[in-house]
Structure 1
Amino acid sequence: LVEEAGSVDSDGGRPRTLLRVASGSGHMIGVDVGETRVRIELFDLTLTELARAERPLGQRRYDVDVVVGHIRDGVAEVTETAGVDPGRLLGVGIGVPGIVEHTPDRGAVVHGQTIGWDAVPLEELLRTGSRFPDTVRWFIDNGARTLGQAEMWFGGGRGARNAVVVLFGSGVGACLVTPEVEHGRAVEWGHLTVRVRGRRCRCGALGCLEAYAGAESLLERWREEGGRPPADTDEETALTAMLAAAYPADGSTADPAALAVLEETAEYLGAGLSDLINLFQPERILIGGWAGLQLGAGFLPAVRRHAAAYALRHPAEQVTIDLGRLGPDAVTVGAAILPLADFFARGGRRPETAPEGPAPAWRAVLEERAPR
């Protein structure tokens, strides 16, 4: 797992040998099941990207069979492109929207109410018909948690003991990291009620934050106010057009409807962040996800102002609110960290394969004598 990387002369005694991670000693795959595409990336042990594949989701974007097919094909493609033996993979990490339940019999089961996934046995579906050997492990978790994992290891969360990492895409979610939950816990922040009897959310409830702050609802509200998002495009392209209408680069008159909707969204997002500030008193809040990155630094001052106005004064004075630092690949990096963290937790040892046939007699005797 490590190799020599030169030496440093000592002031006295023997020179010191430098070590570094042997990059080719392990490989992981990270998968981001996003709103517009499935992104698959292969990394070595230093988390250097070796290959990537993207599969657009199109109109059937959350059809379970389509998503499973894209993941299977994508992971096979990146291993073939890089010439990596699938049997040597440390695992495949996948970030998905929704609540992930880890069951003893079916593996990871996804409850994605906003995307129409009702107890989807995603791990079982991926294992069935997979081209990978059974020794390759699948690690499936909420996309906000994988984003949070990446930012805490390599991005804007490094060094913080308490942080919240926000995923702002078609919907919104968050990952809470505390000393008690050091690897992060996904929280369904987007379904916090911000307005009684408010707009209907994708989950079916009324007044959720996601119904006001998610990119899908943002574009819908612009359309209701007379805006004209480009037809037959994905949400990322439509949001780019909305931002161009609200903040024209050529100095022309801004679209008042787009500007008003963006300003209202900043207030709702700030109010939603104030709840996280009051509840968890984090040191840092980082905003990631494709929509959060598109809105960018120009959007942040208004969000910070509204968060401070709605939050309790003392915790608001202790927190910083910034953009995440890892860009659009943060969810795939965080997903790849899932098998990497498991590998480290096992002391750098790969899972042992169960021997075929009956156990040797000496093992049976030891198991009988072991204290219970």
Structure 2
Amino acid sequence: MNVNDGKVRQVLRRSYELDHGHYAVGVELQPYKLTGVVVGSDGVVIARTRRHLTVMESAEVVQRVAEMAGRLMDDRLGCAFPRERVCVGVQVGGPVDPDTGTVLHLVNGPDDHRHEKPPPYEWVDVPLGAELAFKMGCATSVENDAHAFAAYEQSLGVGSGSATFGVVLVRDGVGAGMVVRGERISVPMEFGHLQVWQRGRICDCGMRGCIESQVGNRALTAVVKELTGRELDGLEAAIALADSNDPQARQAAAAFRKAGTSIARGIATLLTTFGPSHVVIYAAEDLISGGPGRRAANSFLHAMRRFPAHTFHISRDCHIVTKPLDAVRGAHGAALIALQSCFGVRLRHR
């Protein structure tokens, strides 16, 4: 088959998809920003976009998601494309009920360590899926962000070689998703609130010693500030201090070492409970890219990879994979979940 034959087949396949296939718009909802993609029933992203939000009030966010999704549909599929062949999947950084499409709780942190704090917001039992379906006239699904990344990995990542694996997502807080024997576990999984320190810091949730009391953009910045007494403008500043020649650099690095140990103890719990062969860690690139002069990342990674010391010896055969955060992958995973839950489209690993 020559190159032209391949192009012709690709055009014919896409034409068939437009006539008979299903599509999903996947949306990653993060504080004050949206990322959207259009995915065909073959799982391939065919369009993407991003936009900022000025407010996080739920009704306004629903309106903005509907506008972005509608524009993606119209631009890529055409204004006349039947909405009954399109679904919308949204993922959010908090616990959800995927059966009803309800966001159970979504809140920004009490202190994001920036000079100009965005306005506070809190969602409780918001029927995001139903409201979005009413506005758009198409099927919808709502999932937690870590579960969306797990769906992405299942179809396009470590799922090629593992039927049971975990995904840990380190953002402002920490979340996790699991695929067990080829089935994604779609239940609220508060990995960040596993208690791994008997006399640890008080977490934002009010408990003491949670993983999230030490790990995540908010917690790591706060811990470095507590150890050094420095005013820090977010995680990047905390990493820069740990990587510098400043006299307090090693104190700052200690925070990243304890964060790595916190994740290691969480991984040990996943291993004891589910026995995954792989755990994928998604985090800021500066946190997982070790090397010369990268004291923060080296401290975090070294401590995290000592997870076997915290688990039952039979459960220690697990591979840790690190990947930088990518909003498009999160939106892609949300689209894959929507294709399966709304249309029964289940992709094989590509």
Does the residue aligned with 2:104 lie in a helix, a strand or coil? strand
Q: Is the 8 Å Cα contact of residues 94 and 140 (structure 1) preserved in structure 2?
A: yes
For the pair 1:275 / 2:269, whether they are aligned, the reply is yes
Deviation at 1:302, TM superposition (A): 1.1
Encode CA deviations 1:61-110: one digit per residue, 9 max, x unaligned: 4x32343233122212322443534534431111112332256xxx3112
| Corresponding residue for residue 229 of structure 1 | 232
Q: Is the 8 Å Cα contact of residues 98 and 186 (structure 2) preserved in structure 1?
A: no
Encode CA deviations 1:180-236: one digit per residue, 9 max, x unaligned: x61333521111112346433233333221121122111122222323323xxxxxx
Go from structure 1 to structure 2 and tell me whether the alpha carbon gap of 1:270 and 1:102 turns closer, same or farther (over 3 Å shift). Answer: closer
| Corresponding residue for residue 126 of structure 2 | 120
Q: Is the 8 Å Cα contact of residues 97 and 112 (structure 1) preserved in structure 2?
A: no
Deviation at 1:338, TM superposition (A): 1.6
Deviation at 1:284, TM superposition (A): 0.5
| Corresponding residue for residue 87 of structure 2 | 91
Go from structure 1 to structure 2 and tell me whether the alpha carbon gap of 1:256 and 1:102 turns closer, same or farther (over 3 Å shift). Answer: closer
Q: Is the 8 Å Cα contact of residues 150 and 337 (structure 1) preserved in structure 2?
A: yes
Q: Is the 8 Å Cα contact of residues 155 and 325 (structure 1) preserved in structure 2?
A: no
Deviation at 1:156, TM superposition (A): 2.6
Deviation at 1:123, TM superposition (A): 1.6
Deviation at 1:36, TM superposition (A): 5.0
- Find the aligned partners of 1:339 and 1:109 in 2 and give their Cα distance: 15
What TM-score does the superposition give when structure 2 sets the normalisation length?
A: 0.77
Encode CA deviations 1:5-59: one digit per residue, 9 max, x unaligned: 959xxxxxxxxx999953544432111112452212223344443333323346x
- Equivalent residue for 2:287, pick from 282, 295, 304: 295
Q: Which amino acid aligns with 1:87?
A: P
Does the residue aligned with 2:259 lie in a helix, a strand or coil? helix
For the pair 1:241 / 2:237, whether they are aligned, the reply is yes
- Find the aligned partners of 2:221 and 2:304 in 1 and give their Cα distance: 22
- Equivalent residue for 1:137, pick from 132, 136, 139: 139
- Find the aligned partners of 2:162 and 2:140 in 1 and give their Cα distance: 29
- Find the aligned partners of 2:202 and 2:59 in 1 and give their Cα distance: 28
Q: Which amino acid aligns with 2:52?
A: P
Go from structure 1 to structure 2 and tell me whether the alpha carbon gap of 1:217 and 1:36 turns closer, same or farther (over 3 Å shift). Answer: farther
5 Å-filtered alignment, 1:254-265, equals 255-265=249-259
For the pair 1:307 / 2:320, whether they are aligned, the reply is no
Aligned length: 313
Question: Which runs of 5 or more residues in structure 1 are unaligned?
Answer: 8-16, 231-237, 349-372
Deviation at 1:150, TM superposition (A): 0.2
Q: Is the 8 Å Cα contact of residues 202 and 211 (structure 1) preserved in structure 2?
A: yes
Between 1:211-220 and 1:116-125, the stretch displaced more is 116-125
5 Å-filtered alignment, 1:121-200, equals 121-128=127-134, 130=135, 132=136, 134=137, 136-179=138-181, 182-186=183-187, 187-196=189-198, 198-200=200-202
Q: Which amino acid aligns with 1:229?
A: L
Q: Which amino acid aligns with 1:296?
A: I
Q: Is the 8 Å Cα contact of residues 38 and 55 (structure 1) preserved in structure 2?
A: yes
| Corresponding residue for residue 339 of structure 1 | 338
- Find the aligned partners of 1:326 and 1:221 in 2 and give their Cα distance: 22
Q: Which amino acid aligns with 2:302?
A: A
Q: Which amino acid aligns with 2:319?
A: T
Question: Which runs of 5 or more residues in structure 2 are unaligned?
Answer: 109-121, 291-296
Q: Which amino acid aligns with 2:61?
A: V
Q: Which amino acid aligns with 2:232?
A: P
Largest Rg, 1 or 2: 1
| Percent identity (aligned) | 24
Which has the bigger relative contact order, CA under 8 A and spacing at least 6? 2
| Corresponding residue for residue 117 of structure 2 | none
- Equivalent residue for 1:110, pick from 89, 103, 106: 103
- Equivalent residue for 1:67, pick from 61, 70, 88: 61
- Equivalent residue for 1:266, pick from 260, 283, 287: 260
Q: Which amino acid aligns with 2:288?
A: G
Q: Is the 8 Å Cα contact of residues 32 and 95 (structure 1) preserved in structure 2?
A: yes
Does the residue aligned with 1:94 lie in a helix, a strand or coil? strand
Q: Which runs of 4+ in 1 moved over 4 A?
A: 17-21, 251-254
Q: Which amino acid aligns with 1:151?
A: E
Deviation at 1:122, TM superposition (A): 1.1
